[in-house]
Amino acid sequence: MKKISYVRNVIECELLNHLGFEELIVGHRDFSRFSDLDDAEFDSIVQYALKHNISLVFEWDALCEETKLRKLVEKFKAFPSFAFNKVRVLDMGVMQFIKDHYSWLKLQVILENGHHNSLGPVKLSNYLGGQLDRLILSNECSVEMIESIHREIKLHVPHEVELEILAFGPLLLFYSARHLLAPQKLQDYQSDRFIQYYASSEESPHTGFPLMENQHGTFMFNVKDICLFKVLQDEKLRVSNIIQAIRFDFRHLASKSEKENEFKMIAISLLESFTRGLDYQSADRQTISGFFKTNKTSSLFKKLKNQRTLRFDENYLGEVVDVVREKNITILIKNKLNVTLKSKLILVTPEGKRKEVSVTKLHLLNQLHINENQNELQVKELNKDQLYQMSYLSGVVFKTQIYLQN
Amino acid sequence: MSNWVPELLSPAGNFEKCKTAVLYGANAVYLAGLKFGLREASDNFTSLELKEAVEFCHQRNVLVYVVLNGFLHDSDLQELPSFLQEIEVLKVDAVIVSDLGVIEKVKEFTSIPIHLSTQASCLNAYSAMFWKNMGVTRVVLGRETSIQEAKSIKEATGLEVEMFIHGAMCMSYSGHCVISNYTQGRDSNRGGCAHSCRFEYSLHADADKLKNEAAKKSFFMSSKDLSGLRALEEFIKAGIDSLKVEGRNKSEHYAGTVTKVYAEALAFYRKHGHFLSDALMTWERELKKIPHRDYTDASLISPASDASIYHDREHEQSDTVVCGQVLETNQDRIYLSVKSAFSPGDKLEIIPIAGPNFTMIVDEIFDMALQKVERTKPGTLVSIKKMSNVEKFSLVRKSL
């Protein structure tokens, strides 16, 4: 598996190349969500990489509204064509622009949101053809999902497509185009281009979500970083053939202005942990393995819904809209059905109690004042959206669902 | 002379809301089956309800779009074809999709037109062209897109363009928030969004000081609600094909009021070719009567500013409370399904299906055993004297 990381200056470029990172990602503040490199800084890295034959990937992962995209397209056109031969993109519009105008540039497409099935990645791979170099998969993909994506690409795509995951780094939870921190008038606010804060939610036991704001908007990260070193070791046989590239992102652990030695120590320590199959230990940041082993994000929510208040079968008749104790029940008919005297009704309350009753009295509410004593019901098709009354039945409450028994 | 106006697309969280939106003037509704959408908390539609809803809408020349905009997993995709075949038989007018895998399934199993959900964050013409190449016929643009940008996208691609005109907004790029996934185990992109952006947060530059007094408390991620009423003319001049009202989880009161306001405004423009009317003030007042979080035009004209942040706890302001919905009428009485309590002597405001609202003082109230009621209870049916011609499903509310 190729090891991939980010570089922010020539020193990092030299070091990571020396440590065996096969591919380095470089951003530019205008194009990349988390890069603050200006033209000169960017250019110095490009020149160094060219000189030392380092594989450099240009990161264009900011989402772009039409106006922003037009500006960036002009700037992109001004880059020297030899600067890089691969571009990482998140916005499908940026991807289409590169496909339309730069067919010689390889594409690495970031599928960090969605694409949790194999069908989409297969379609995208075939659409981009040989121009597609790699798909960067979501942190929410479990190993089973990745296996499925890999298998289907092998079966249905006639060219090689690499799959990449984030092996270590911050988990991006939220990406907004709006500037949310600057307006807070925080006491210690400084008008840096990059504002960094921490947030704790009143509703979550977790504290200290890192926040960042820059010209692209506002970002929130998880309180824990993802670290897959141990699970990648445990699943070595399973993943060695399906994942071709793993990404290390430790920019948040050492700012680019910090001493070279500090960055170097973290890089070496991370690589050692990875090689030994141990999760990286840091005094500042805890780690999780995310959803790599299994993704159960929808199991909890389904339990919150009261299935008993939903209507399910062809024999559904309607819903109780009123109950007067010891007197009557009013039902709103929601389905055209033939109800006869002695038809059996099944009533299911919101609490799940089930009652069966034979129809002995049922009349249109509109006739309440007209024919109060009506107590017989002939064979009759009940009309939808009309209110009927029947005799009181204990235990039946508002929102009880009514079905006709076969 | 009749002037062109866009389609008004309203939310239908369940069959009752669907009927309400249609009767109050929607040209199209969007709704979901029990799976595959992004509003798991909404009632949504069983197969039988879907069938009835499509019949109900088509009889009134109202289009039905079925939402399939979750980011589906392989296991979900296996279940999808049978549902797709079911809705194709019903002749739904389009599906709203955000995932490429789902688009492939729709194309494989049906010939239903495909609309790209806002969840895919389509923000520019190149992106729209990509999705056009994938088979979509309409794009619902990301809410970060301005009306002028939308116009450019439409002109560049020839696609139908839909934009949100009203309702709650994600603070993040749609589809780019997974806070619920990591903090609550609920997949925000498969219908489980926990609205973490509405919570209050403590903020500090030093993580260790988050719990002390120095930390600033803020609802910094909560967005005001979108209202594009004042931008209607811009939408029309830009040729935006469809104007969407957010809110499948919201009430009949919301669906009915918002739909009625925009339907009336569009009808006014169709007839007069402008919005120079005192009615504009009435429509704005109406929109303030439903629960909302303060309004913003967000990015419709220029990128959303500080003013688009709702610096307050999650509560929706409203000048009124809905008392109920008319379920039946006869010569003398109307039968109200009570949602909020009211008493004899209260002044109720009736929102008729068509025409201006009117008020009435409640006389006697009777329950369904013909007993007098001193104060109504939610979850009951009561009858009150009929004051004017009130249609079934009309909403009734009172001022707070």
User: Model confidence over A88-110: pLDDT tens digits?
Assistant: 999 999 999 999 999 999 999 99
Give the pLDDT confidence score for residue A372 in this predicted structure: 43
Average pLDDT over residues A382-399: 90
Chain B residues whose CB is inside 8 A of the A314 CB are 48
Q: Which residues pair with B201 in a beta bridge?
A: A201, B218
Of A321, A323, A322, A318, whose CA–CA distance to A333 is shortest? A318
Q: Which residue has the tokens 């185990």?
A: B185
Residue A322 to chain B, least CA–CA distance (Å): 5
Give the pLDDT confidence score for residue A212 in this predicted structure: 92
Contact yes or no for A65 and B190 at CB 8 A: no
Two tokens, residue B387: 């004051």
B313–A contact, CB cutoff 8 A: no
Q: Which residue has the tokens 């951003």?
A: A27
Query: Is the pLDDT score of A327 beyond 60?
Result: yes
Q: Residue A326: which H helix or E strand, with range?
A: none
- For β-strands B28-31 and A338-339, DSSP reports them as unpaired
Of A83, A81, A119, whose CA–CA distance to A103 is shortest? A81
3-state secondary structure chain B: CCCCCCEEEEECCCHHHHHHHHHCCCCEEEECECCCCCCCCCCCECHHHHHHHHHHHHHCCCEEEEEECCCCCHHHHHHHHHHHHHHHHCCCCEEEECCHHHHHHHHHHCCCCEEECHHHCCCCHHHHHHHHHHCCCEEECCCCCCHHHHHHHHHHHCCEEEEEEEECCCCCCCCCECHHHHHHCCCHHHCCCCCHHHCCEEEECCHHHCCCCCCEEECCCCECEEECHHHHHHHHHHCCCEEEECCCCCCHHHHHHHHHHHHHHHHHHHHHCCCCCCHHHHHHHHHHHCCECCEECCCCCCCCCHHHECCCCCCCECCEEEEEEEEEECCCEEEEEECCCCCCCCEEEEECCCCCCEEEECCCEECCCCCECCCCCCCCEEEEECCCCCCCCCEEEEEC
Q: Where does the pLDDT of residue A187 fall: very low under 50, low under 70, confident under 90, or very high at 90 and above? A: low
Query: Is the pLDDT score of A299 beyond 70?
Result: no
Average pLDDT over residues A329-333: 93
Dihedrals phi, psi of B361, to nearest 5 degrees: -90, 130
Residue A332 CA to residue B223 CA, distance in Å, equals 38
**Contact assessment for residue A55 and residue A84, using Cβ atoms and an 8 Å cutoff:** no
Which amino acid, B269?
Y
Chain A residues whose CB is inside 8 A of the B126 CB are 69, 92-97, 100
Query: Is the pLDDT score of A13 beyond 70?
Result: yes
Sign of CA dihedral A166, A167, A173, A179: negative
Give the pLDDT confidence score for residue A191 in this predicted structure: 47
Q: Minimal Cα distance from B38: which residue of A?
A: A298
Q: Which residue has the tokens 């960067």?
A: A136
Sign of CA dihedral B278, B283, B286, B292: negative
Ordered per-residue pLDDT tens for chain B, 400 residues: 689 999 999 999 999 999 999 999 999 999 998 877 655 656 688 888 899 999 999 999 999 999 998 888 888 899 999 999 999 999 999 999 999 999 999 999 999 999 999 999 999 999 999 999 999 999 999 999 999 999 999 999 999 999 999 999 999 999 899 998 888 888 887 777 888 999 999 988 888 777 777 778 889 999 999 999 999 999 999 999 999 999 998 999 999 999 999 999 999 999 999 999 899 999 999 999 998 889 999 999 999 988 999 988 866 667 789 999 999 998 889 999 999 999 999 999 999 998 999 999 999 999 999 999 999 999 999 999 987 878 999 999 998 8
Chain B residues whose CB is inside 8 A of the A113 CB are 71, 175-176, 178, 189
Contact yes or no for B126 and A322 at CB 8 A: no
Sequence-separated contacts (24+) of B268-271 with Cβ below 8 Å: B269/B3, B269/B5, B269/B232, B269/B233, B269/B236, B270/B2, B270/B3, B270/B4, B270/B5, B271/B2, B271/B3
Mutate to test the interface with B, among A298, A307, A385 (most CBs of B within 10 A): A298
The beta-carbon neighbor of B182 closest among A119, A171, A202 is A171
Of B312, B386, B376, whose CA–CA distance to B342 is shortest? B376
Give the pLDDT confidence score for residue B317 in this predicted structure: 66
Query: Is the pLDDT score of A375 beyond 60?
Result: no
Residues 74-93 of A with CB under 8 A from B: 91-93
**Contact assessment for residue B396 and residue B349, using Cβ atoms and an 8 Å cutoff:** yes
Give the pLDDT confidence score for residue A370 in this predicted structure: 38
Which amino acid, B320?
T
Contact yes or no for B176 and A113 at CB 8 A: yes
Chain A residues whose CB is inside 8 A of the B15 CB are 334
Give the pLDDT confidence score for residue A301 in this predicted structure: 55
Q: Where does the pLDDT of residue A169 fall: very low under 50, low under 70, confident under 90, or very high at 90 and above? A: very high
A115–B contact, CB cutoff 8 A: yes
The alpha-helical segments, DSSP class H, found in A277-336 are 299-302
Contact yes or no for B203 and A197 at CB 8 A: yes
The beta-carbon neighbor of B73 closest among A116, A309, A321 is A116
Contact yes or no for A140 and B201 at CB 8 A: no
Q: Which residues pair with A24 in a beta bridge?
A: A5, A56
Mutate to test the interface with B, among A297, A302, A319 (most CBs of B within 10 A): A297
Chain A residues whose CB is inside 8 A of the B306 CB are 179, 182-183
Residues 330-369 of B with CB under 8 A from A: 330, 332-333, 335, 337, 367-369
